[in-house]
Homo-oligomer: A and B are copies of this chain.
């Protein structure tokens, strides 16, 4: 089987794929409604939250758009912390819908600086909200969200977090850290195919929602809340198969235990980083903040990162990711989140050893 080592979609366990292949049922019927309620409750446990949790049919980016339009009015001042492609995307969504966005950027490969966030908030008390990416898939960096959340807390701002590629693999206790709007996507830690965004909204998030004037219909959290309260429904026909699959995946995750899952990702992240360094490669990310779900590797010493990915795919049946936007051709990325074990990471490292020289590595550059 292909070793799909991209940062999502991740491979799915057979039990999950089997649920994906189930025959359709009435999305307004008792069995499905019970499943929606059950999935919602299990997600709350994985999110470590008592907040409202909703299933939205769409990609992670749809979930981000939902978070923005449910929280802000045009003209609202928002501090958008960006450390890569997905941080920029979040800022762009807010700008598109009319927010007055200040983007606080870090050099790519580096995390956000909590002190710089503090300085921005001190500098402009009219800022209403802080938006931040927990794990930046494009650079392989995990922000220190706990410290960022603690830094923001005294200012009483709304805290909106893109946790698409973190929560469920990397620790993110939503309530303890006071995250007001959190977004994730089915095809990441959750071991199911793409098609579903999952969001959690705090009481403060609901207060913002009540005043938020950005136009919303499909993504409206208030409609989602009303439908869920109506026995476990969704306002619109949902991605039935993905929800059935998520139900199965969540049982597997609860059986493994959140702490064990997080520990597995810590171990796999470390193993990947140690492995690529032992091959003489350089990490793109600041190692102190390197992600445990995706490792970005610099195309140093003659390495043609695009050629490498082609060789890995064609000769070893291992699928890696390239760089995005300005990092295209400059890095390659190894995904190690969701349904993944040491053997699969080991296979990547073994293949890299023979593939790297074929892709120019060691030729000097």
| A17 engages B21 (CB within 8 Å) | yes
Interface residue A200 (Cβ < 8 Å from any Cβ of B): no
Interface residues of A in 139-168 (CB under 8 A from B): none
- CB A195 to nearest CB in B, in angstroms, measures 4
0/1 interface trace, chain A 109-138, chain B, CB 8 Å (1 if under): 000000000000000000000000000000
Asked whether, in the complex, the Cβ of A9 is within 8 Å of the Cβ of B24, the reply is yes
| Stretch binding the partner chain, chosen from A38-46, A53-61, A349-357 | A53-61
- Cα–Cα, bound, A187→B217 (Å): 21
Q: In the complex the two chains form, what is the Cα distance from A177 to B236 in whole Å?
A: 29
Contact of A18 among B21, B187, B237 (CB under 8 A): B21
User: Which residues of chain B come closer than 8 Å to A239, judged between CB atoms?
Assistant: 59, 193-195, 239, 242
A92 at interface by CB-CB < 8 Å: yes
What residues of B have a CB within 8 angstroms of the CB of A97 in the complex? 215, 217
Please report whether the interface of chain A is mostly helix, strand, loop or mixed according to DSSP.
loop
Of the listed stretches A25-33, A257-265, A273-281, name the one at the interface; the rest are far from the partner chain.
Answer: A25-33
- From residue A331, how far is it (CB to closest CB) to chain B in Å? 15
Nearest-CB distance from A180 to chain B (Å)? Answer: 21
Question: What residues of chain B lie closer than 8 Å to A26, measured between beta carbons?
Answer: 4, 6, 9, 319, 321
Segment 188-245 of A: residues with Cβ below 8 Å from B:
193-195, 214-218, 235-242
Q: A312: shortest Cβ distance to chain B, in Å?
A: 12
A299 interface hit (Cβ, 8 Å): no
Q: A167 → chain B, closest Cβ, in Å? A: 17
Excluding A4-B25, A26-B319, 16 further A-B contacts by CB distance (< 8 Å) are A4-B23, A4-B26, A9-B27, A9-B240, A20-B21, A26-B321, A29-B313, A57-B57, A57-B58, A61-B218, A61-B236, A65-B217, A93-B218, A96-B217, A187-B237, A194-B237
